[in-house]
Each structure stands twice: as C-alpha cells, then as structure tokens.
C-alpha cells in the first residue's frame, strides 16, 4: 500500500505545437521596411500585398444587403442559383468542357483556406508528397506541412517538358498525391499555355496524381492572348477526372473582404470535399452566396477592373524600368515581377527609402531571391506617386 501511495502519476509527453513547426509568417519580416517607408513626407505607397482598393460593384453590394435577413444555416454546397452561376461562368469565361454542371462545383470561404486545407480534405497524410511551383505563393507549401506530407517545389515548365526528370531524384512517385499549378503565377505572372497544361495532365493521369490548378488571376491577361484553364477540353480532353480548378472573385470583382471563391472539376473529388466540409461546418454565409451569385453574372465589372489595372501597369512599368529595374514574366495577373540585379531585400530597403514598399522574392522560394513582387493594387494616385518617386530618384 505504501508503494501505491507514493507512486507518482506519469509525466505527459510535451505537446508538439503545430505553430512551432511552421516558418515565420513572411510579411512579418517587412515591419522595419514598412516603418521606414511610412516616414516619407508624402506617405507610404504600399505595393507589397495584392489587396484590392477599388469599390465592390454596386450590384454585389445590393445583393448582399438584400440577403441580410438570413436567420437559417446556409448549406455547404451552396444555393442552386450560386452553383448554376459558377458553372455558367466557367463555360462563359474559362472555356470549361460542356460536361461540367452544377454538380461539379463547390463554393469555398475564399481560396486561401482551400489551398491550405486541400491536402487534409483529400486525405493526404505524412506518407505522401505534395508538389507545387518552385516559385510560388507560400500557402501550397503550408498545406503540405499541415498534414505532415513532403513539400516538393518543382519547375512546372520543366515538368511539362521533361516529366519525371524534372522532379527530385529521391522522390518516390508512388507517394506524390497532389500537384498544384498556378497560372497566371503569383508572383511571377507567367502563364502556362494549353500545350504545357495538356502535357502535365497526361503525365499526372498516367501516375494517378491529382492536379489542382489555382486560376485566381486568370481574368487579368496583359501580354498573352489567353490564359487557358485546366477545365478547357483542349487540356482535359473533355474528361475532368483527377482535375480541380480553384478560382476567386477577390481580384476580378474586388471581393477579397467577402471571401468568395470556388473549386470545380472532377465530381468524385468535389464530392469528397463536400463530405469533409459538411462535417467541419465549412459554409459560405448566405448573404455572401447571394453577393457571389450576382458577381459571377456580371461581366462588366471585371472588364472595368481589368482596365484600371491596365492603366496602373502602364504607369508603373516604365517607371520601374527607368529606375534600373527589369520586369520579367508578368504576362498576366496583379504583379510586376522585377529585378534590379541585387538581392531582393536590398531592393526592398532601397525602395522603402522612397516611401515605396514591395515584397522580396525570397517569400516565394529559394530561386526568387533576386526579385521583388510589386503589386498594382493601389489607387491611381498612389501608383502615380510611386512612379514619380522612381523616376526622380
């Protein structure tokens, strides 16, 4: 009995914090440069984040207000009207195969949450690998890390050209479950053409690899005639098996604050996502569903927004070049991918002296350290201010 009374309880194993296993949030590293840029007498021009600044279309605001009295729970799959509108948009604006219907689509709470959690929702785990562009939005990497999978950066153009040879030699292809594409690219603005996409789809299908194509910037082309979709029958062959397209209204319709996005493609994969998201209570609020329905049916607002960004690009690009910058890629999308022939953080700090804040390439991959990403998402007045400072330096 004495022994029983003196026996201590076992010491629990230390909890492993997920946050402690993740890298620092990249934009926190810009705090000092942002403070320096804010000291400019005419104020900061913040071009470091692609957050919309222009008004949300009036029809969208009205639809949100009209649906404000929404006491009941929304559905995970979305209203029939929203799903039909998503399908119609994909046919009308993205050339989706005729086989795509409302059964192939699912609204999401913005696109970032889907990117971050897609590996989990598809059942990918620590035995698997997730591939994504080697210069890319960091959330693809985070999604792999969240489930303990191996993150695999890959040169996507090289993959289209050389297949397996473009991948790390130590990667067991039997464990590669998901490949992310991003065209137009954030940050480089590069576009994959239909031939490249077709080659990648054929390669992935032969190996049973799911493709998720992030096409959030597709309605902002500049130096290319088109931005093909993974859902285009020229790419898919009219067969959506193994394919998912992710799209957001944040950029094309200034709905970043609404968190309005969707995923579409293989009905079996979409069905898996619906089943998981129902269990997790991941539902787009009813007023936002109504607003999103209105936005998807409005082609005039995205066209007007495209023209705003075109004018800002026309102002900023020559100013960067006159200041010694070389803009590469940038065929489409919201950014000017620029190098001054130096480390990106050196450029960040130099431009901060002018009151202009940009994002260093190192945020987007090891091969991008010599570039900076410069957003077009500032008011006309702020873009003009940045151009003036660059050309008078």
Averaged pLDDT, 81-98: 95
Residue 18: per-residue pLDDT: 75
pLDDT tens digits for range 318-367? 999 999 999 999 999 999 999 999 999 999 999 999 999 999 999 999 88
CA 182 to chain CA centroid, Å, is 7
Helices (H) and strands (E) in the chain, counts: 14, 13
Residue 97: per-residue pLDDT: 87
- pLDDT greater than 60 at residue 99: yes
CATH of domain 58-297: 3.40.640.10
Burial class (CB in 10 A: 0-12, 13-18, 19+), 315: middle
Residue 269: per-residue pLDDT: 98
CATH of domain 24-55+301-391: 3.90.1150.10
- pLDDT greater than 90 at residue 56: yes
Residue 87: per-residue pLDDT: 97
User: ∠ at Cα 231 (226, 236), nearest 5°?
Assistant: 105
- pLDDT greater than 70 at residue 250: yes
Cβ neighbours of residue 7 closer than 8 Å, sequence gap 6 or more: none
Counting other chains too, the contacts that 339-343 makes at CB distance below 8 Å and 24 or more residues apart are: 339/370, 339/371, 339/372, 340/372, 341/370, 342/370, 343/369, 343/370
Dihedral sign (CA 72, 113, 50, 27): positive
Residue 314: per-residue pLDDT: 98
Q: How confident is the model at residue 26 (pLDDT cuts 50, 70, 90)?
A: confident
| Cα(210)–Cα(122) distance, integer angstroms | 10
Q: What percent of the chain has pLDDT over 90?
A: 90
Residue 9: per-residue pLDDT: 67
- pLDDT greater than 90 at residue 392: no
Q: How confident is the model at residue 7 (pLDDT cuts 50, 70, 90)?
A: low
Least confident of 24-28, 193-197, 220-224: 24-28
Q: Does the model's pTM come out above 0.75?
A: yes
What does the radius of gyration of the chain's CA atoms come to, in whole angstroms?
Answer: 23
Q: Give which of 302, 299, 157, 297 is closest to 221, Cα–Cα.
A: 302
Strands 129-133 and 372-375, sheet pairing: unpaired
Residue 8: per-residue pLDDT: 67
Q: How confident is the model at residue 301 (pLDDT cuts 50, 70, 90)?
A: very high
Averaged pLDDT, 139-168: 96
Q: What percent of the chain has pLDDT over 70?
A: 97
Least confident of 6-10, 76-80, 164-168, 213-217: 6-10
Domain with CATH 3.40.640.10 in the chain: 58-297
pLDDT tens digits for range 264-275? 999 999 999 999
- pLDDT greater than 90 at residue 149: yes
| Cα(175)–Cα(154) distance, integer angstroms | 15
Residue 5: per-residue pLDDT: 54
- pLDDT greater than 90 at residue 245: yes
Residue 6: per-residue pLDDT: 57
Q: How confident is the model at residue 158 (pLDDT cuts 50, 70, 90)?
A: very high
Domain with CATH 3.90.1150.10 in the chain: 24-55+301-391
């Amino acid at each position: 009995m004495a022994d029983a009374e003196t026996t201590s309880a076992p010491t629990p194993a230390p909890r492993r914090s997920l946050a402690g296993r993740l890298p620092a949030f990249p934009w926190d590293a810009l705090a000092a440069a942002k403070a320096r840029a804010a000291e400019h007498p005419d104020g900061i021009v913040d071009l470091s984040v692609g957050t919309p600044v222009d008004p949300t279309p009036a029809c969208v605001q009205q639809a949100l207000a009209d649906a404000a009295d929404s006491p009941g729970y929304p559905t995970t799959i979305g209203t029939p009207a929203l799903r039909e509108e998503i399908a119609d948009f994909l046919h009308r604006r993205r050339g989706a195969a005729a086989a795509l219907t409302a059964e192939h689509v699912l609204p999401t709470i913005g696109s970032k949450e889907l990117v971050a959690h897609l590996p989990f929702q598809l059942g990918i785990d620590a035995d698997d690998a997730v591939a994504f562009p080697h210069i890319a939005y960091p959330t693809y990497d985070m999604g792999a890390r969240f489930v303990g999978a191996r993150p695999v950066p890959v040169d996507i153009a090289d993959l289209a050209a050389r297949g397996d040879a473009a991948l790390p030699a130590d990667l067991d292809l039997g464990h590669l479950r998901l490949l992310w594409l991003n065209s137009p690219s954030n940050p480089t603005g590069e576009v994959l053409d239909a031939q490249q996409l077709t080659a990648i789809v054929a390669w992935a299908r032969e190996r049973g690899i799911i493709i998720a194509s992030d096409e959030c910037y597709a309605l902002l082309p500049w130096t290319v005639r088109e931005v093909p979709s993974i859902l285009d029958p020229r790419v898919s062959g009219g067969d959506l098996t193994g394919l998912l397209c992710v799209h957001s209204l944040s950029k094309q319709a200034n709905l970043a604050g609404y968190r309005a996005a969707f995923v579409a493609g293989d009905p079996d994969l979409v069905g898996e996502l619906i089943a998981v998201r129902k269990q997790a209570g991941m539902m787009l609020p009813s007023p936002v569903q109504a607003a999103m329905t209105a936005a998807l049916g409005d082609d005039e607002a995205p066209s007007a927004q495209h023209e705003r960004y075109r004018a800002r690009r026309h102002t900023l690009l020559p100013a960067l070049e006159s200041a010694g910058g070389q803009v590469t890629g940038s065929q489409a999308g919201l950014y000017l991918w620029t190098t001054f022939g130096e480390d990106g953080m050196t450029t960040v700090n130099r431009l901060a002296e002018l009151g202009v804040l940009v994002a260093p390439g190192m945020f987007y991959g090891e091969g991008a350290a010599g570039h900076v990403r410069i957003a077009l998402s500032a008011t006309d007045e702020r873009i003009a201010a940045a151009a003036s400072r660059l050309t008078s330096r």
